[in-house]
């Protein structure tokens, strides 16, 4: 089995070089997919790389909206995804009609949408954002303008709290994985590990009741920080702490352990797995490279409109 896995790994490396393909993988991908990627990161970092790569093809190991974003940023590239059925429960929580009705109810409002949205939603937005720059983008909007934030209500609540924004309206969407991590899960895990630091993604439902404590730098006498996935990676690398409880999808633990072998990482919840992210397998990556499937493209007019919101996201950083 080990020999077979090594053979598949080597075949993927050979194929990506032969086909001039860069493989981008999200932090939540399975270990074997992360190991063949040219870059593993969060949505913002991967989007930036998609916009600057010199490769003629991009193979996106993530969920469908991420591949769409890459296609919008680099329309001259051929963008592939190993499994087109890899969707996102958060992205599915708002439709184009929903957004248009909401905007009519708030004329003059500035719409800010999380990158976890479809291309047609992005085309209706003023700004796109990721968890790492959402607060900075909202801060950049004039204080007297209403803000419509979508689709994640937990990230939206965090941003409203972090910015002190009073005229911000939040769409009631959620990521089923992050919403399933409870304060009870976190406390149980923290109780099992001495001197642990708690890092948590702002999409987590547990951030709402914990928000005040975490924002002040502590949670029930535990050091705690709300961070994007890439923010987590940077923080755990430089922290003097040796033990961490991690409140996000469990896929990131592989990279954390790989890059920080002297530290211990436990998931806030063992159940925090995204079945969509896990749909991408090394076999599907190999087949995508070998048979040139499956291409992700966005209609030109939709892409043109969406590019404006995405470019604003990349400018803010």
The residue among 280 and 315 whose pLDDT is bigger is 280
Domains of the chain: total: 3
Domain check: are 167 and 310 in the same one?
yes
Q: Is 269 labelled a binding residue? A: no
Q: Is position 97 within any domain? A: yes
* Confidence (pLDDT) at 217: 62
Q: Are residues 307 and 169 in the same domain?
A: yes
Please tell me whether 114 is known to bind a ligand. yes
**Is 116 labelled as part of a ligand binding site?**
yes
239 shares its domain with 163:
no
Question: Helices 229-238 and 252-259 meet at what angle, rounded to 10?
Answer: 20
Which DSSP helix (H) or strand (E) runs through 5?
helix 2-18
Shared-domain flag, residues 198 and 257? yes
Judgement on whether residues 74 and 137 belong to the same structural domain of the protein: no
Establish whether 201 is an annotated binding residue. Answer: yes
Average pLDDT estimate for 222-230: 88
pLDDT at 14 over 70: yes
Task: Work out the mean pLDDT of the chain and round it to a whole number.
Answer: 93
What are the percentages of helix, strand and coil residues in the chain, rounded to 5?
45, 20, 35
One domain for residues 98 and 168: yes
Question: Are both 185 and 37 inside the same structural domain?
Answer: no
Q: Is 274 annotated as a binding residue?
A: yes
> Whole-angstrom Cα distance, residue 162 to residue 134?
10
Is 178 known as a binding-site position? no
Average pLDDT value for residue range 270-285: 97
202 is in an annotated binding site: yes
Q: Are residues 310 and 170 in the same domain?
A: yes
Is 53 among the annotated ligand-binding positions? no
Q: Evaluate whether residue 95 is within a structural domain.
A: yes
Query: Do 157 and 192 fall into the same domain?
Result: no
288 is in an annotated binding site: no
State pLDDT tens for residues 82-141.
999 999 999 999 999 999 999 999 999 999 999 899 999 999 999 999 888 999 999 999
Residues 169 and 186 in one domain: no
CA angle 50, 56, 60 (to 5 degrees): 45
**9 a known binding residue?**
no
What is the value of pTM for the model shown? 0.90
CATH number of the structural domain spanning residue 245: 3.40.50.10800
Task: Please tell me whether residues 240 and 286 are part of one structural domain.
Answer: no
Q: Is the pLDDT of residue 37 over 90?
A: yes
Structural domain containing residue 197: 181-267
What is the average per-residue pLDDT within 17-40?
98
Q: Is 229 annotated as contributing to ligand binding?
A: yes
Residue 272 in any domain: the answer is no
Same domain, 237 and 260: yes
């Amino acid at each position: 089995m080990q020999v077979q896995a090594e053979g598949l790994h080597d075949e993927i490396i050979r194929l990506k070089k032969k086909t001039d393909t860069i493989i981008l993988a999200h932090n939540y991908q399975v270990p074997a997919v992360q190991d063949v990627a040219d870059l593993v990161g969060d949505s913002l970092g991967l989007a930036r790389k998609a916009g600057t790569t010199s490769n003629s093809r991009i193979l996106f190991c993530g969920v469908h909206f991420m591949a769409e974003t890459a296609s919008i940023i680099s329309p001259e590239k051929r963008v592939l995804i190993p499994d087109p059925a890899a969707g996102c429960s958060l992205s599915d929580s708002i439709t184009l009609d929903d957004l248009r009705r909401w905007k009519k109810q708030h004329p003059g409002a500035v719409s800010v949408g999380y990158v976890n949205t479809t291309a047609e939603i992005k085309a209706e937005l003023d700004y796109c954002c990721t968890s790492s720059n959402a607060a900075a983008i909202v801060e950049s909007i004039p204080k007297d303008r209403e803000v419509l934030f979508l689709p994640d209500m937990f990230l939206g609540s965090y941003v409203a709290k972090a910015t002190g924004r009073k005229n911000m309206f939040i769409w009631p969407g959620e990521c089923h994985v992050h919403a399933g991590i409870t304060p009870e899960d976190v406390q149980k895990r923290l109780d099992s590990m001495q001197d642990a630091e708690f890092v948590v993604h702002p999409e987590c439902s547990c951030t709402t009741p914990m928000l005040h404590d975490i924002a002040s730098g502590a949670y029930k006498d535990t050091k705690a920080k709300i961070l994007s996935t890439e923010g987590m990676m940077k923080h755990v690398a430089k922290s003097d702490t040796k033990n961490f409880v991690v409140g996000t999808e469990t896929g990131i633990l592989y990279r954390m352990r790989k890059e920080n072998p002297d530290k211990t990482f436990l998931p806030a919840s063992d159940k925090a797995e995204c079945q969509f992210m896990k749909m991408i397998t090394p076999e599907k990556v190999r087949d995508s490279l070998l048979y040139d499937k499956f291409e992700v493209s966005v209609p030109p007019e939709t892409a043109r409109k969406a590019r404006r919101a995405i470019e604003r996201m990349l400018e803010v950083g």
